[in-house]
């Protein structure tokens, strides 16, 4: 038998929704005997980025390409685009901005914001996000320099 396709892995993974991670892995290995470790890692990372995208944009990504357009792989983050999240983020997600002086609108002069679940090197920031809309909904952070 050959290595399962991405579609097969995604379909099998979707059927494990609600299970603990170790049980999801056992079920994947049972349903797809030839699944490889890199495929398991890929599907869990994709789900993680989907949750980050939904926190940043208020909805799940409509396509894989849309998700990829806003994902910063090295930092496990999803860029907010032109607007800050309009709803309260989950407890394990953080709104972060870069070192550029905050300005309105978001994106002007290189000022960027993203949502991440990686708390390393973050310090709470007390700027007003340059007056951007929805700045008061979530506490925000910047990278420690």
Residues 34 and 142: their CA atoms lie apart, in Å, by: 43
The model's pLDDT over 65-108, given as tens digits with 9 standing for 90+, comes to 898 888 876 678 999 988 899 999 999 999 999 888 888 888 88
29 band by pLDDT with thresholds 50, 70 and 90:
very high
| pLDDT (0 to 100) of residue 74 | 67
Prediction pTM value: 0.78
pLDDT at residue 10 in the model: 94
- Residue 52 backbone dihedrals phi, psi, to 5 degrees: -65, -40
Average per-residue pLDDT for the chain: 91
Side-chain half-sphere exposure of 18, counting CA atoms within 13 A = 1
How many angstroms separate the CA atoms of 55 and 71, rounded? 13
The sign of the torsion formed by the CA atoms of 81, 112, 108, 84 equals positive
Do residues 94 and 141 touch, judged by C-beta distance below 8 A?
Answer: yes
Q: Are strands 77-79 and 122-125 parallel, antiparallel or unpaired?
A: unpaired
Q: Cβ–Cβ contacts within 10 Å for residue 103, how many?
A: 15
What is d(CA 24, CA 42) in angstroms, rounded to the nearest whole number?
A: 14
């Amino acid at each position: 038998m050959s290595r399962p396709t991405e579609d097969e892995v995604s379909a099998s993974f979707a059927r494990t929704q609600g299970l603990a991670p170790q049980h999801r892995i056992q079920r994947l290995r049972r349903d797809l005997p030839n699944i490889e470790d890199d495929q398991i890692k890929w599907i869990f990372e994709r789900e993680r980025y989907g949750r980050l995208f939904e926190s940043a944009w208020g909805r799940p990504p409509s396509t894989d390409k849309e998700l990829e357009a806003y994902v910063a792989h090295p930092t496990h983050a999803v860029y907010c685009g032109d607007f800050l999240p309009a709803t309260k983020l989950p407890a394990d997600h953080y709104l972060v901005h870069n070192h550029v002086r905050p300005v309105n609108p978001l994106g002007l002069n290189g000022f960027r914001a993203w949502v991440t679940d990686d708390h390393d090197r973050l310090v709470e920031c007390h700027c007003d996000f340059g007056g951007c809309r929805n700045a008061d909904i979530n506490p925000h952070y910047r990278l420690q320099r």
